[in-house]
Structure 1
Amino acid sequence: MNEISTVDFFPWAWMLHFARAFLSFNVVNALTKRKYGMFKTFIIYIGVCMVYSYATLQLKDMSQKVEYTCLTLYFLIQFVLVIFLTENKLYLKLISVMSAFLTMLLTSALYYSFITLTFGNEGTEAFLNKTTLLSLICLCLFMVAFSFFVVFIIKVIKNKLNNTLEHNIKYIYFYLFPLTHIFAIQIVYAFEQQLVTKANEYSQRLSSVSCIYFVVCFIIDFSIMFAIDFFEKRELENLKYKQLVANNELDYQKYLQLKTERERYRKIRHDISNILTTAVGFIEIEKPQKALEILQKANDDIHNSAYEIICQNETINTIYTIKHRQAEEKGINLVINVEENAEIKISNYDLCRILTNLIDNQIEATDNFSENRDIELFIKITPANIVIKSTNMYKNSSKKKPTNKDFHGYGQKIINDIAKKYNGKYKFSIVEDKYITSTLLDNIECLN
């Protein structure tokens, strides 16, 4: 195949500059939070970069100093774009653009180092103004594929630092798929170079088929970024929906409890005169025990109908009321002690999931015992942390040391994931036939 010029903007130089702009956008997008949708941000970012690339290519016979100046202005323009298109702090925006610049340098260094090592200096012809179409596509696809590897590293680090829940992990691994194309690039490129060395000519059929294959790979890589963004948005919407359902369920339970309480109070208020008259009558005929039974029964009805208030947090109060009645139906005594020194900042949804899973696990474990059917929950709330400790009876007939997998695996995994989300941890221990858990959370708001 004949050599092509990389100085003329369309179509060959366009491919190279588009790959460079795509690399920069991919890295910047991984490090920042967009103000607008993916498609709109992509079009604006790539469009401005391509217009600038076209303008610089119109400068004929550029010296090396002018080229460096144009490259510096290129990334300054990207920095301005990032300022207007993202919501992060200024230093994070600067870091994202610098990371894109370093990624571009690293990509070029790695690619041409490999080519030089394999084929010698003649293999680095893409540095010049003329090259083969296959060489150009190899370079462009390598730039795009390597940018996804950098994005993968960035996503993994952000996931660890932000303690993101594990449902995001499966999307991160998709960024590794474009790396599979790099091997095909090098195999085909090496094969072509061998033909050039031996026959001193390019195989037009090989180059044509390879170019078609690489264009398909490029389209796939291009679509991956948008596909991941779509699935992550849908996952976030599902999470918000689950939070809304949980909050609505709590509100509904509060409504039912208050409705039941009012109905019982109406009945008691309606009968209170008769109850007191009857009790007085029993006392007058010297049957105080009967009077006491009637008054005690009325007191129990009032107590059982009440919405239990054990702290200032309505979520904890609601969960305690619901779970206390569930435990009583099984003959289990649930006790929750709350020490409040601050307001709870973690989301009601996450707090609800932790407490309900802990208490459900306690009820399930304690239901197997005929004695010592007490379960305890201690919650300490400070401005910095929230500590939740649960205690219930435990009896292990086996001699092996129990592990986390032996105890309510799915519910425990939920608690552990939420603890990580709030920079905390979940752990358990067994002390004198008692199963004790401890969940530590930072008392902070978290949007993940």
Structure 2
Amino acid sequence: MWRFGRRRADRALATYQRELIDTHYREVENMYTKMRMWRHDYRNHLQTLKALAEQGDLDAIRDYLDKLDDELIVLDSPVKTGNAMADAILSSKMSLAESRGIATRVDAHIPVKLRISELDLCCILGNLFDNAIEANVGVPENDRMIRVYMDMKGTQLYISFTNTAAAGKRRKVHGRFRTTKTGEGHGFGLLHIDEIIEAAGGYVSRNSEDGAFTTEILLPQQ
């Protein structure tokens, strides 16, 4: 019976991981698709500007450049960690959080190659951001907050996620914080994060205070 339950849990975790990877891949691919589309239109933009220049219409050129500038601001990643995949997933999640009225600040730098793959790093960051967004549900909009900090501490990458939470101080069950989400499959995100970190020889700490939750992670460089 125990082995059957373990196999069932393993299958559920494997399914969750595939769905998570697919979701994060689509988010990253969507951002890069938008960038490729803009690059594709680059020649057309130049031709338009040349035509306006030949006509000597400086006001039209300025107006056109202003519109291009606005478009680039929308497409440009608000996060520049030094890792393109991390930039894409963090920017995507920031946009999602802010669309839900959550004040979000990201100060992140990844100056070295890590022992884990970029895909595993994105799974960690995506999961942490999703959990932080979910935890803000029910928090008054003026109080909603997510803060992300990433930088090197010696030879390891330090990752810190802090977010407001509606449920007050959370308690551990068998040494682990349980997810506040409901439904089948929820809770696998935390398990997946822990497995990635353990396999890399890293460290994770979670702390719940009244109204806030913090996750701290150390990941060794390559």
**TM exceeding 0.5:** yes
Structure 1 partner of 2:194: 416
The unaligned stretches of length 5 or more in structure 2 are 182-186
Question: 1 or 2, which has the higher strand percentage?
Answer: 2
- Kindly provide the CA deviation profile for residues 5-49 of structure 1, in whole angstroms up to 9, marking residues without a partner as x: xxxxxxxxxxxxxxxxxxxxxxxxxxxxxxxxxxxxxxxxxxxxx
Measured after TM superposition, the shift of residue 278 of structure 1 is: 5.6
Q: 2-side partners of 1:266 and 1:308: how far apart?
A: 25
- CA gap of 1:394–1:265, structure 2 versus 1, over 3 A, is farther
- CA gap of 1:429–1:269, structure 2 versus 1, over 3 A, is farther
Question: 1 or 2, which has the higher helix percentage?
Answer: 1
Letter in 2 for 1:372: D
Letter in 2 for 1:317: D
Structure 1 partner of 2:144: 373
Q: 1-side partners of 2:36 and 2:180: how far apart?
A: 37
What secondary structure sits across from 1:371 in the alignment? helix
1:327 is aligned, of 97, 100, 106, to 97
2:112 maps to 1:342: yes
Structure 2 partner of 1:405: 178
Structure 2 partner of 1:355: 125
2:35 maps to 1:262: no
Q: Are the equivalent residues in 2 in contact too, given 1:260–1:305 (CA < 8 A)?
A: no
Measured after TM superposition, the shift of residue 302 of structure 1 is: 2.1
Measured after TM superposition, the shift of residue 357 of structure 1 is: 0.2
- CA gap of 1:433–1:266, structure 2 versus 1, over 3 A, is farther
Q: Are the equivalent residues in 2 in contact too, given 1:350–1:418 (CA < 8 A)?
A: yes
Structure 1 partner of 2:83: 313
Letter in 1 for 2:83: N
Letter in 2 for 1:352: C
Q: How does 1:146-161 map to 2 (within 5 A)?
A: none
- CA gap of 1:368–1:417, structure 2 versus 1, over 3 A, is same
1:429 is aligned, of 184, 204, 207, to 207
Measured after TM superposition, the shift of residue 338 of structure 1 is: 1.8
Structure 2 partner of 1:277: 59
TM-score of the pair, normalised by structure 2: 0.66
Q: Are the equivalent residues in 1 in contact too, given 2:114–2:219 (CA < 8 A)?
A: no
Count matched residues: 197
Q: 2-side partners of 1:270 and 1:329: how far apart?
A: 36
Q: Are the equivalent residues in 2 in contact too, given 1:335–1:375 (CA < 8 A)?
A: yes
Q: 1-side partners of 2:170 and 2:27: how far apart?
A: 38
Measured after TM superposition, the shift of residue 296 of structure 1 is: 6.9
Q: 2-side partners of 1:415 and 1:336: how far apart?
A: 20
Measured after TM superposition, the shift of residue 314 of structure 1 is: 1.5
Q: 2-side partners of 1:355 and 1:410: how far apart?
A: 14
State the structure with more CA Rg: 1
Q: How does 1:117-196 map to 2 (within 5 A)?
A: none
Q: Are the equivalent residues in 2 in contact too, given 1:308–1:318 (CA < 8 A)?
A: no
Q: 2-side partners of 1:391 and 1:310: how far apart?
A: 20
Q: Are the equivalent residues in 2 in contact too, given 1:340–1:382 (CA < 8 A)?
A: no
Structure 1 partner of 2:184: none
- CA gap of 1:319–1:279, structure 2 versus 1, over 3 A, is same
Q: How does 1:206-217 map to 2 (within 5 A)?
A: none
Q: Are the equivalent residues in 2 in contact too, given 1:380–1:386 (CA < 8 A)?
A: yes
- CA gap of 1:279–1:365, structure 2 versus 1, over 3 A, is farther
- CA gap of 1:261–1:376, structure 2 versus 1, over 3 A, is farther
Q: How does 1:54-93 map to 2 (within 5 A)?
A: none
What secondary structure sits across from 2:142 in the alignment? coil
Measured after TM superposition, the shift of residue 425 of structure 1 is: 3.0
Q: Are the equivalent residues in 1 in contact too, given 2:161–2:215 (CA < 8 A)?
A: yes
